[in-house]
Chains A and B, each alone.
Chain A
C-alpha cells in the first residue's frame, strides 16, 4: 500500500501528484481545539507564498510581479515577492490582484463550503478584492462583499492587518463613511 511513491518526471505528472497529495494534507480532521491554530497557520503560509514563477520555483505563478509592472506601467514602491507583499502594498498592481482573486475563487470551489480550507481561500478572495479597492476587479454586489467582510472580521484566526485591510474596504463602501465621500 505504501509503495506508491514514484519519481515525478513531467510538469503535468507533478501537478497530478500534487493534487493527490493535497487531498491527504487537507483532511482537516483535527481535534476541535486545533482548528483555530491550523487555520491561522494556513493563512500565514498563504501570506508568505511566493508570487513569482521562476524556473524550479514554487511561486504562485503570477507573471509580471516586478516593480516595473505597477499600475499604468508606474514603478511600484516596495518589494513584491510574496502574496502578503501584494495584498498590503500601498499601490498594488491590479492585474496581479485580479489573478490572485481568481486563484482563490477557484480554491473556494474545490472545498466544501465552510470547511477550513474553504474559509482560508475565501478570506484571501476577499482580501484580493479589498486590496484592489473592491469594485475595481469584481462584479460582486457591495452587500455580499460587506457580508463577507463581516464574516472575516468575526474570525479569531484572521490576523489584525488583514482585518484592517478589510475594514478599510468596508468603510469605503459605506455611503456615509468619510473615506467613501473622499473617493467619489
Chain B
C-alpha cells in the first residue's frame, strides 16, 4: 500500500524576493534606521562566526562586522549573487563574511590578489556552528518579541484588547520561558489585567501565540524567500534546538 504525497499547497505569503534586504541594498531607497536595526539584529551571530573562523581578530570584530555590513550589504548587486537554491541566507552571509575578511587580511598584508580575483569559489554550505545558529535564533526571537510588543502596545481603532494580549503573553508565555519563572495563575492574571474570566485570559493567550508565530515567520521571511522558506527555516531551527537541548542530558 502506498499513500500518495499530497500536492503542496501554494504558500500563504507571496514571494518576497528577499525584499527588505534587497531594498536595503539600493542606496537610493535605503532607510538608515531600518538598515541600522537590521545590522544590529544579526551583528551578534556574525561576530560569533567571525571569531570562530578568525579567533585572532577579537579586538577588531565589531569594526570588521560593521565594515562588512556597510561594504557588502550596501554594495549594489551583492545580494543578487545570493542564490537561495544553494542554501540558507545565513550560510551565504557566513561565506561572504569569511571571504570579506580573507580579502581584507590579504590587502593588509599587501598580497597581490583577492580570493575572487584568483577564481576562488566558496562552498555553498558553511559548516554548521552551534554558537552562530543559537545566536541567530536568539536574534530572530528577540526581534519577533519586540515587534509583537510594539504591535500590541500601538493603539488601534476597534482593537481595544491588543494591549491585554501583550500583558497576558508576558505573564503566561514570555516570562516563564525567558526568565524561567512559574507561569502566573490565570486567576491572578484576570485580577491584574482586569479581565472578565479565565476563559478570556486563555483566549488572549491563544491569540498571543498566533501573533508571535506570525511575527517570527515575518522576521525570517525578510531574509528567506517567502513564507514557505520561513517554515523550513523554523523547522531547521527546531531540530537544531532540540538536538542542542538534548545534549545537556548526555
B117 at the interface (CB under 8 A from A): no
- Per-residue 0/1 for B1-13: is the Cβ within 8 Å of any A Cβ (1 yes, 0 no)? 1111110110010
Count of CB-CB pairs between chains A and B under 8 Å: 162
Whole-angstrom CA separation of A6 from B234 in the bound complex:
21
Pair B6/A36 contact, Cβ less than 8 Å: yes
B17 at the interface (CB under 8 A from A): no
Secondary structure type dominating chain A contacts? helix
Surface stretch bound by B, among A22-30, A85-93, A129-137, A138-146: A22-30
Q: Count residues on chain A whose CB falls below 8 Å from chain B CBs.
A: 60
A176 at the interface (CB under 8 A from B): no
B62 at the interface (CB under 8 A from A): no
Pair A160/B12 contact, Cβ less than 8 Å: no
B28 at the interface (CB under 8 A from A): no
Name which of A29, A49, A57 has the most chain B CB atoms within 10 A of its CB.
A29
Q: Count residues on chain B whose CB falls below 8 Å from chain A CBs.
A: 59
Pair B235/A38 contact, Cβ less than 8 Å: yes
Contacts of A1 in B (CB 8 A): 145, 149, 170, 174
- What would 18 A/B residue contacts be, using CB atoms closer than 8 Å? A4-B142, A8-B134, A17-B134, A18-B244, A20-B177, A22-B241, A24-B177, A25-B137, A27-B212, A41-B235, A42-B238, A42-B239, A45-B232, A45-B238, A57-B127, A61-B243, A61-B247, A106-B249
Interface of B with A (CB < 8 Å)?
A: 1-6, 8-9, 12, 44, 52, 127-131, 133-135, 137-139, 141-142, 145-146, 149, 170, 174, 177-180, 206, 209-210, 212-213, 216, 228, 231-232, 234-250
